[in-house]
Chains A and B, each alone.
Chain A
Amino acid sequence: MAEKKNVSRRDFLKTSGIAAGALVGGGIIGGLIGANTRQDGAVPSGGEAGHSGNGEAAVGARGLQFFKNSAEFAVLEQATERIFPEDELGPGAIGLGVPFFIDHQLAGSYGENSREYMQPPFEVGEATQGYQSRLKRNELFRQGLQRMQQEAQSRFDTNFVDLEGEQMDEILTAFQEDEIDMQAATSQFFFRLLRQATLNGAYADPIYGGNQNMEGWRMKGFPGHRPAYINEIESEDFVQMDPHSVGDMLN
């Protein structure tokens, strides 16, 4: 299938001087992502199945590594879908697997803030001084999603997931504009984190469980992992290319 691994490709380059672009092109098509989808934590999702017609066939067992409560996960699904909705261009957050991406990230070093400075004392600072909360990201997400659910109950007397889209947007906007009280953090900070995590999941390499079937990249016109553009970069025209995952490097 794919050309030989990177080491041999590089060695060839060194000796021949031929551009790597000449060596690729055949063989690697989508559909490899299933092989890289994480198989662990196979708790069945209680949430909505993906809307995407494309992404599901290639996906192996999918489950939750961080969230324990399917209702909580369902709030995450709907909130991310409002941020990045399905439209005529292609799938939204749910169809791209973004909620699973976020769940997996929250279970790991991202959620645990393991590479961030988390030593006390924690003080409230100026906005220009950045994140000063004692909360880890996964604690912040759990609290934020619970607050969204509470806000749905208090404003509309129903569950967040049962709201109309505009009602969900009203609540998300209230978070964005820092109108919601949260403990040891601001709702604005949580909203920004949620928005960024949604974009991360839509466009990160599919090895992380989002960007299913590279549909995020296809919508955007980004070819993902390509070894080289030396043969295309002088083209006057836009070059359309099928995307590749960095997971190809192992195949």
Chain B
Amino acid sequence: MVTTLDKVDVVTVGVGWTGGIIAVECAKEGLKVIGLERGRTRSTEDFSMVHDEYRYAIRYELMQDLSKETITFRNSRGQRALPMRQMGSFLLGEGLGGSGTHWNGQNWRFLPYDFEIKSMTDAKYGANKLPAEYTMQDWGITYDELEPYFDKFEKTAGISGEDKNPFWGQRSADFPTPPMKKTPLLAKFETATSNLGYTPFMMPSANLSEAYENPDGQQINACQYCGFCERFGCEYGAKTSPEITVVPAARETGNYDIRFNANVVEVMKEGDRVTGVRYIDTVTFEEFIQPAEVVVLTSYVLNNAKLLMVSEIGELYDPETGQGTLGKNYAYQILPGASGFFDDQMNVFMGAGALGMTIDDFNGDAFDHGNLDFIHGASLSMTQTGSRPIASNPLPPDTPAWGAEFKKASIENYTRTLSVVGQGASIPHRDNYMTLDGTYKDAYGIPLLQLTYNFTDQDRALHQYVTERATEIMQEMGAKTVIGSNPISDYDIVPYQTTHNTGGTIMGADPETSVVNNFLQHWDMENLFVVGAGNFAHNGGYNPTGTVGALAYRCAEGVIRYSREGGSLV
């Protein structure tokens, strides 16, 4: 028994940053919008018990229930893909706000180089800088075209920062709020990187330096530096999140409603148009069809790709032939860095998720790659996000992992260790992709998404080079012992690395090589939009959310224009 509901103008699948932005922009224009969210509602009041490392950071309170749905994974096509039975390498979100609730708040604009990476690399280094199996391509949009949307997202979010980075793209306006406090720990990094001739600046932060009212009239409070951001929600309403900004703003229009416990399992289609979505109520297991003029996929990277695959929309990527686009250019992030051990105790337990300083001297194409066997690079930051005692047990080299020596060393060094960490670009490779699994299914009988991914020679070279730079910085900071990150070999899905998964539903200028156009409108189905970090044609050297937010505003403009005019927007 399937119940067909009344048709709406726009339905979004998932209500995080992208779903919230689409909702508020479309609802302000008078479109009737429904958001389908598989998780529960939540708000600032639900985070009063949040200073609990075990519950939230170790036991993943806010994350996806893998007993219902996960992915399968293998390093290469020769292996059998097996389910990710426990969360590890990345943390999938669930519930209102999605990953926008448990993010750290480090908010970046990808570099001008990122959007035109192929043509700019070819122009400077020749077409064969990387072998042909690296499938990087231009994004079909430039930084300058995207700038107004970056600006809009930053104003919605109230981002705190300073325009002192010579390497990022030109800004049409300064940051909405001033940078966060430059703590003594950050000042150490600032001094060291300045001594080395680099240009440090305060990291753009969605933990706000002061109370702020955004253009939609929503209030974001001032950060209290409590040290519980990533994997947590903010009990002060001071970490910009969808549920305190775009979601309430959309609701105030009277044109928006959210249905919770609504797990979408299929995008319905007829000919060359989509007609709505089919979802299962996760409480009753009743099935519903929500018809809509426009469908916008606004769930996480992996689920957006999976929904297109199970709905048979678009051509699956085939790594043998290179044909097809859906699932292509899955990318991740490379994490070079160095840790330093100091004599004096430091206030490492204080902090905020985006309290940090950064240099971009080794990001993008800010440095010459002529004699290097890789492209791109990494932002290098020192953050003070709040170290917590279960997860933080820093050990100098050759210390055992348990027993008397472990206990002494981990306690001694907990407050005496700092790290400089790079967020390295991830260049797509022919063999890294997503498809549907042939064996394992989710709780609704739908195949799991299958991920085939491994690090590449490009990744290893980038990692080694930037780790050397991080090590030099840590030495300059005066650490008595410095350890650089271990060289990377095969990608391992067990230890946490980063929740910066990208690609699979990439954007571009050509339907032969991309899934959506630069309004994030599907090439094959003009009333279907797909938006998120899945649109990234490669992953850059920063956290993704700022760029995701910009793409969502671009997409919202496309949905509104499509609703009025119809047809392909490009």
Contact = CB atoms under 8 A, between A and B. Distances in A.
Interface of A: 5-7, 10, 13-14, 17, 19-21, 82-85, 87, 89, 92, 109-110, 113-119, 121, 123, 125-132, 169, 172, 176, 195, 198-200, 203-205, 207-208, 216-217, 219-230, 232-236, 238-239, 246, 249
B88 A238 contact: no
A169 to B, nearest CB: 7
A84 B393 CA distance: 12
Nearest to A130: B494
A128 B75 contact: yes
Contact of A238 (B225, B346, B439): B346
Contact of B82 (A132, A220, A227): A132
A204 B53 CA distance: 7
Contacts of B58: 200, 204
5 contacts: A21-B224, A83-B406, A119-B441, A221-B415, A229-B227
A203 B389 contact: yes
A8 to B, nearest CB: 11
B192 interface: no
B502 to A, nearest CB: 20
Contacts of A13: 221, 224, 236
A126 B344 contact: no
A205 B225 contact: no
B164 interface: no
B224 A223 contact: no
A233 B225 contact: yes
A232 B347 contact: yes
Contacts of B393: 199
B86 A130 contact: yes
B54 A89 contact: no
A189 B566 CA distance: 56
A232 B183 CA distance: 10
A195 B491 CA distance: 23
B67 A116 contact: yes
A220 to B, nearest CB: 5
Interface string B393-434: 100000001111011100100110000000000000000000
Contacts of A116: 66-67, 85-86
B403 A169 contact: yes
A130 B347 contact: no
A118 B85 contact: yes
A10 B349 contact: no
A206 B225 CA distance: 23
Given A20-B224, A21-B224, A119-B440, A89 B411 contact: yes
B547 interface: no
B46 to A, nearest CB: 11
A222 B52 CA distance: 13
B53 A205 contact: yes
Contact-residue bracket for chain B: 35 or more
A229 B226 contact: yes
A242 B487 CA distance: 40
B181 A234 contact: yes
Given A130-B493, A131-B86, A199-B393, A114 B67 contact: yes
A87 B225 contact: no
B415 A233 contact: no
B561 interface: no
Residue of B44, B58, B491 with most partner-chain A CB within 10 A: B58
Interface string B420-456: 0000000000000000000111000000000000000
A123 B73 CA distance: 13
A17 B208 CA distance: 13
A10 B235 contact: yes
* B interface SS class: loop
A38 to B, nearest CB: 14
Interface of B: 44-45, 48-49, 51-55, 58-60, 65-67, 69-70, 73-75, 79-80, 82-86, 88, 181, 183-184, 211, 219, 221-227, 235-237, 344-347, 349-351, 384, 388-390, 393, 401-404, 406-408, 411, 414-415, 439-441, 490-494
B68 to A, nearest CB: 8
Contacts of A233: 181, 183, 225, 347, 350-351, 384
B184 A236 contact: yes
Given A128-B494, A228-B226, A216 B403 contact: no
A228 B222 CA distance: 11
A13 B351 CA distance: 19
B490 A217 contact: no
Given A6-B235, A228-B225, 9 more contacts: A10-B236, A14-B219, A83-B402, A116-B66, A117-B83, A127-B492, A132-B83, A220-B389, A229-B224
A220 B74 CA distance: 39
B345 A125 contact: no
Given A82-B403, A117-B84, A6 B53 contact: no
A19 B384 CA distance: 19
A216 to B, nearest CB: 7
Nearest to A169: B403
Given A221-B414, A222-B388, A110 B226 contact: no
A24 B300 CA distance: 39
A99 B236 CA distance: 35
The 6 A-B residue pairs with the shortest CB-CB distance in the complex, in nearest-first order: A228-B224, A204-B54, A229-B350, A238-B345, A225-B51, A203-B389
A122 B160 CA distance: 48
A17 B238 CA distance: 12
Nearest to A125: B82
Given A20-B224, A238-B345, A238-B346, A224 B51 contact: yes
A119 B347 CA distance: 44
B347 A235 contact: yes
Given A199-B393, A238-B415, A128 B227 contact: no
A205 B52 contact: yes
A117 to B, nearest CB: 4
Contact of B66 (A92, A109, A117): A117
Contact of A115 (B51, B65, B88, B440): B65
Contact of A128 (B48, B52, B80, B492): B492
Contact of A219 (B48, B70, B411): B411
Contact of A117 (B45, B85, B235, B411): B85
